[in-house]
Amino acid sequence: MNELEETMAHFEEPEYFDISDTYSVVYKKFLQMDFSSRPAIRGQLEGPISFGLNVHDQDNKPILFDDTVRPFMLEFMAKRVNVQLTRLKALNPNAFMFIDEPGLQFLFSAMAGYGDRAARQDMETFFSVIQRPRGVHLCGNPDWDFLLGQDLDILSMDVYSNGEVFASYAASIRKFLDRGGVIVWGIVPTNFEPFERESMISLEKRLEEVWARLHDKGIDREFLLSRSLLSPATCCLVNPDGEKTVEKAFEVIRQLSESLRKKYRLLG
């Protein structure tokens, strides 16, 4: 509350909501690089549900549950997303944003104290003021019907851990794809131990099993692949070997993409 007056005085200044050096050591360096030849680039920020669950008020209550604070928080977070996307689009016209929302998997638990009707309305409002393309990334297992029903362009999820559950939501997945949505299949683990257990062959089989289940439920495989991207399964950057496993995971993604493109005769 002590900072609210100053914040409101700058509320129409996009740069006020940008990431500062205090909270990112790489952001400005990234913005100074040349990405004009890349097919696309993306940014990522914590979403309002996760942020609102993590920040507590003076009574140790998550601000997500405060009907007075929550509308301000949603608008504040949307401005943070938009200013980053604007900066990225200046570097590459195909830039897009991921809203990182691990908190969605806890949203409808008995302990949450925040109903699905209010959450749906709030998230619809939040996404309506975010520039496109807009997407959500999460490593957990939320209510997929709820998430797939949001006005998203891209959904990035951990299919390595949640593929079997996700495939059971074929009807919602089909509606999402029919609206033009893109699914980013997070198939390569970035955690050290599961990464060491897998191979490109085992990961390809694991992913194709999910696609096969969706095909059996009426989603044409060719159509599905035309609306698909690949990525590592999670954002994990904490491993005994530092960043090495993460870098290896991205290399496996590149190899897996080449293999699947040849196998399914995908262009590009």
Q: What ranges do the domains of the chain cover?
A: 153-268
What is the value of pTM for the model shown? Answer: 0.89
pLDDT > 60? residue 230? yes
Q: How confident is the model at residue 224 (pLDDT cuts 50, 70, 90)?
A: very high
Predicted confidence at residue 251, as pLDDT, reads 95
pLDDT > 70? residue 109? no
Using one digit for the tens of pLDDT, what is the confidence trace for 6-61? 888 998 999 999 998 888 888 999 999 999 999 999 999 999 988 998 999 889 98
Burial class of residue 115 in the structure, from the number of CB atoms within 10 Å of its CB (0-12 exposed, 13-18 middle, 19+ buried): exposed
Residues 104, 53: Cα–Cα separation, whole Å: 10
DSSP 267: -
Per the DSSP assignment, residues forming a β-bridge with 138 are 157
DSSP 99: E
- Higher per-residue pLDDT: 117 or 160: 160
Q: How confident is the model at residue 110 (pLDDT cuts 50, 70, 90)?
A: low
pLDDT > 80? residue 232? yes
DSSP 132: S
What DSSP assignment string belongs to 150-219?
A: S--SEEEEEHHHHHHHHHTTHHHHHHHHHTT-EEEEEEE--SHHHHHH--HHHHHHHHHHHHHHHHHTT-
How confident is the prediction for the chain on average, in pLDDT? 90
Give the three-class secondary structure for 230: strand
- Lowest-pLDDT choice from 89-93, 230-234, 236-240: 236-240
Q: How confident is the model at residue 241 (pLDDT cuts 50, 70, 90)?
A: confident
pLDDT > 60? residue 131? yes
Phi then psi for 125, rounded to 5 degrees?
Answer: -65, -45
Q: How confident is the model at residue 266 (pLDDT cuts 50, 70, 90)?
A: confident
- Higher per-residue pLDDT: 192 or 211: 211
Using one digit for the tens of pLDDT, what is the confidence trace for 137-170? 988 888 899 889 989 999 999 999 999 999 999 9
- Higher per-residue pLDDT: 117 or 16: 16
Residues 24, 19: Cα–Cα separation, whole Å: 7
Predicted confidence at residue 268, as pLDDT, reads 59
Q: How confident is the model at residue 4 (pLDDT cuts 50, 70, 90)?
A: confident
Closest by CA position to 41, among listed 91, 75, 114: 91
| Token reading at 96 | 């897009």
Give the three-class secondary structure for 47: coil
Burial class of residue 196 in the structure, from the number of CB atoms within 10 Å of its CB (0-12 exposed, 13-18 middle, 19+ buried): exposed
Radius of gyration in angstroms for the set of CA atoms belonging to the chain, rounded to a whole number: 19
Predicted confidence at residue 212, as pLDDT, reads 97
